[in-house]
Amino acid sequence: MLTQVYNKRDAEKITSEITHIINPTKKIKDLEKQLEFSESYQNRVNLADAHLANKDYKSALPLYLRALQDGSENDFYVNSKLVETYFLAENYSETVLHAEKIKDKLEYKKSKTQFICGLAHEKLGDFELAEHNLRQIDIRYSFYDERLILAEFLMSRNKKEDAKTILEDIKNESQHITRTNQKLYRGTVAQVEKLLAQLD
């Protein structure tokens, strides 16, 4: 009997997750109801995350900003989400402003958030700061897409040797990663090989 209850609960959870993937507005409506019922920090952040996943940046931003007021001004998770949301909404000065609030935190160093901050600096024309932040992501056996973007950035700044080194590293590493990752990064590796051919 207990296993039937457990399995039923599991099935309901899986069904609900599938519904939310197929119909993201259903998930948003559910999360809006939760927030109406209880205006907690977590409910606000959950709804903001759903809007961000749905590429509705205008709805996500005020929820994240309000969550910062509720919690701590230096909350890493919410500020990192604001960095991402403002960047996707093409507000690059706000992207940098929120990155500044968390740049001294350990989780920020060599993170995707720092990388996004670098991209924002590039958009603002501050290429030195852009390069400093983008280079932090150059870590072996990880961040393949970001490292490709870094190589392209360096090529645009006429630092072809630096770019070539990064591209060759990615190409070599790609031969030693799992099958799953090889499938996942097939497009990235193809682009790396294309750029290497241009540099030769």
| Tens of pLDDT, residues 24-37 | 577 778 766 777 77
Domain total for the chain?
1
Give the integer Cα–Cα distance in Å for 169 and 200. Answer: 15
Per the domain annotation, does 64 fall within a domain?
no
Which residue has better confidence, 13 or 103? 103
The pLDDT value recorded for residue 69 is: 85
The parent domain of residue 191 ranges over 138-200
32, two tokens: 């809006």
Per the domain annotation, does 183 fall within a domain?
yes
Which residue has better confidence, 4 or 111? 111
Per the domain annotation, does 186 fall within a domain?
yes
Per the domain annotation, does 71 fall within a domain?
no
pLDDT at residue 156 is higher than 80? yes
Query: Mapping DSSP to helix (H, G, I), strand (E, B) and coil, where does residue 137 land?
Result: coil
CB distance 115 to 133 below 8 Å: yes
Per the domain annotation, does 155 fall within a domain?
yes
Per the domain annotation, does 80 fall within a domain?
no
Per the domain annotation, does 51 fall within a domain?
no
